[in-house]
């Protein structure tokens, strides 16, 4: 495997990070997960725009232009012959001294990994997920804003640990007010009649790229979409429920905290949106040429 690092492609065994990199020491950095479909990088510009917004929010200067970054993502895919796969784009604060002061880091480091990924077993896309609510609350927006896609994912990892220990592959994270925020790595939607509802970012939800695509595609299929506060009661009584994410794509949730959602099978709205999403993804994006 070839890894794109700081302007050049290197063998996986030579892709090394200093022990003094603040990304390693303190989780100080930002990242994006990007998909490639049918020889195209899906929503490349949108992902890169979000990466730079995240970096700006933490005063991290990325040492290359957006145009150069997009070109590097394509080069990483080409170097690994990726036509359908996953790209992890990472920007760390770079090498600095011990201690929290980020200004001792002279230059950020850019790493791009292009490989394959399968977040959930294929059969679960046909049968749906059973998930649980966990006790780990989502970080407050006033502490670590959920719109910043940072390398510090411990909040999400603690939630994932709880889910796995409870025998589930995914979970629901609530915010400090008890409202639904998101899953450990995905956005949450419910379906009520002809309306899709998803939590707003101030509740602790990342403004996901796949989430935004679904919110664009749904009205084209005749569905209403709104951001609104959700409680667990709203999830339990939903007609359908599904998760969205770059790695997860669109996957149905059929059981929450041992409450059956709908008829216990992936619903028609979820399935229809899944078909339209994949059709859109297969025909959109930046060519890997």
Question: Residue 157 maps to which CATH number?
Answer: 3.20.10.10
Residues 137, 30 share a domain: no
Please calculate the CA angle 257-258-261 and round it to the nearest 5 degrees.
95
* Final residue belonging to a domain, choices 98, 115, 132: 115
Q: Note the pLDDT of residue 176.
A: 95
Own/partner pairs for 221-224, CB < 8 Å, 24+ apart? 221/272, 221/273, 221/276, 222/194, 223/194, 223/195, 223/196, 223/269, 224/194, 224/195, 224/196
Closest C-alpha to 35, from 88, 80, 75: 88
* Active-site residue (options: 2, 107, 149, 265): 149
Please report the pLDDT score of residue 130 as a whole number. 98
Q: Is residue 11 part of a domain?
A: yes
Do 188 and 83 share a domain, yes or no? no
CATH assignment of the domain containing 47 = 3.30.470.10
Q: How many domains does the chain have?
A: 2
Domain that holds residue 74: 2-115
Residue 70 lies in a domain: yes
Helix (H) or strand (E) holding 45: helix 44-57
In whole angstroms, how far apart are CA 250 and each of 9, 168, 223?
32, 18, 16
Same domain, 109 and 128: no
In a domain, 56, yes or no: yes
Residue 163 domain-assigned (yes or no)? yes
Tell me how far apart the alpha carbons of residues 66 and 49 are, in angstroms, rounded to a whole number: 8
What is the bridge-based pairing of β-strands 129-133 and 249-256?
Answer: parallel
Same domain for 63 and 95, yes or no, is yes
| Residue 92: alpha-carbon gap to chain centroid | 18
The confidence score (pLDDT) of residue 117 equals 84
274: helix, strand or coil: helix
Q: Same structural domain for residues 104 and 12? A: yes
Q: Let me know whether 268 and 181 are in one domain.
A: yes
Q: Who contacts 122 (Cβ-Cβ below 8 Å, separation ≥6)?
A: none
Separation of alpha carbons 63 and 65, rounded Å: 7
Tell me whether residue 149 is one of the annotated catalytic residues.
Answer: yes
- Is residue 198 located within the same domain as residue 155? yes
Q: Provide the pLDDT for residue 82.
A: 96
Give Rg (Cα) of the chain.
19
Q: Are residues 252 and 134 in the same domain?
A: yes
Do 67 and 141 lie in one domain? The reply is no
b/e sequence 90-127, b meaning 16+ C-beta within 10 Å = bbbbbbbeeeeeeeebeebbbbbbbeeeebbeeebbee
| Same domain flag for 138 and 32 | no
Please choose, from the candidates 20, 71, 113, the residue with its C-alpha nearest in 3D space to the C-alpha of residue 288: 71
- Per-residue model confidence (pLDDT) at position 22: 98
- 289 domain residue, yes or no: no
Edge-to-edge strand ranges of the sheet holding 109-115: 8-11, 2-5, 109-115, 85-92, 29-37, 40-41, 286-287
Per-residue pLDDT of the chain (289 residues; tens, 9 = 90+): 999 999 999 999 999 999 999 999 999 999 999 999 999 999 999 999 999 999 999 999 999 999 999 999 999 999 999 999 999 999 999 999 999 999 999 999 999 999 998 889 999 999 999 999 999 999 988 889 989 999 999 999 999 999 999 999 999 999 999 999 999 999 999 999 999 999 999 999 999 999 999 999 999 999 999 999 999 999 999 999 999 999 999 999 999 999 999 999 999 999 999 999 999 999 999 999 8
Q: Say yes or no: 16 and 75 in one domain.
A: yes
- Examine residue 288 and state whether it is found in any structural domain, yes or no: no
The DSSP secondary structure of 183-208, one letter per residue, reads -SSSEEEEEETTEEEE--GGGT----
**pTM of structure:** 0.95
């Amino acid at each position: 495997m070839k890894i794109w690092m700081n302007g050049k492609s290197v063998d996986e065994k030579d892709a090394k990070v200093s022990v003094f990199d603040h990304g390693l020491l303190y989780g100080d950095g930002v990242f994006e997960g990007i998909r490639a479909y049918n020889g195209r990088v899906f929503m490349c510009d949108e992902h890169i725009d979000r990466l730079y917004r995240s970096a700006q929010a933490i005063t991290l200067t990325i040492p290359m232009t957006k145009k150069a970054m997009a070109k590097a993502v394509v080069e990483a895919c080409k170097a690994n012959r990726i036509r359908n796969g996953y790209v992890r784009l990472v920007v760390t604060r770079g090498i600095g001294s011990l201690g929290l002061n980020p200004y001792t880091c002279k230059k950020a480091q850019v790493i791009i990994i292009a490989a394959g990924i399968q977040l959930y077993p294929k059969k679960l896309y046909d049968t749906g997920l059973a998930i649980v609510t966990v006790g780990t609350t989502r970080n407050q927006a006033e502490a670590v804003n959920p719109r910043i896609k940072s390398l510090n994912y411990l909040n999400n990892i603690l939630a994932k640990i709880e889910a796995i220990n409870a025998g589930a592959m995914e979970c629901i994270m609530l915010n400090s007010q008890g409202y639904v925020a998101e899953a450990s790595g995905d956005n949450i939607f419910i379906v009520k009649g002809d309306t899709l509802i998803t939590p707003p970012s101030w509740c602790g939800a990342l403004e996901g790229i796949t989430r935004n695509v679904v919110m664009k595609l749904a009205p084209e299929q005749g569905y209403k979409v709104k951001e609104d506060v959700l409680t667990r009661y709203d999830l339990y009584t939903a007609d359908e429920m599904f998760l969205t994410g770059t790695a997860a794509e669109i996957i149905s949730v059929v059981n929450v905290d041992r409450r059956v959602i709908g008829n216990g099978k992936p619903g028609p709205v979820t399935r229809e949106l899944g078909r339209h999403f994949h059709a859109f993804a297969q025909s959109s994006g930046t060519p890997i040429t």
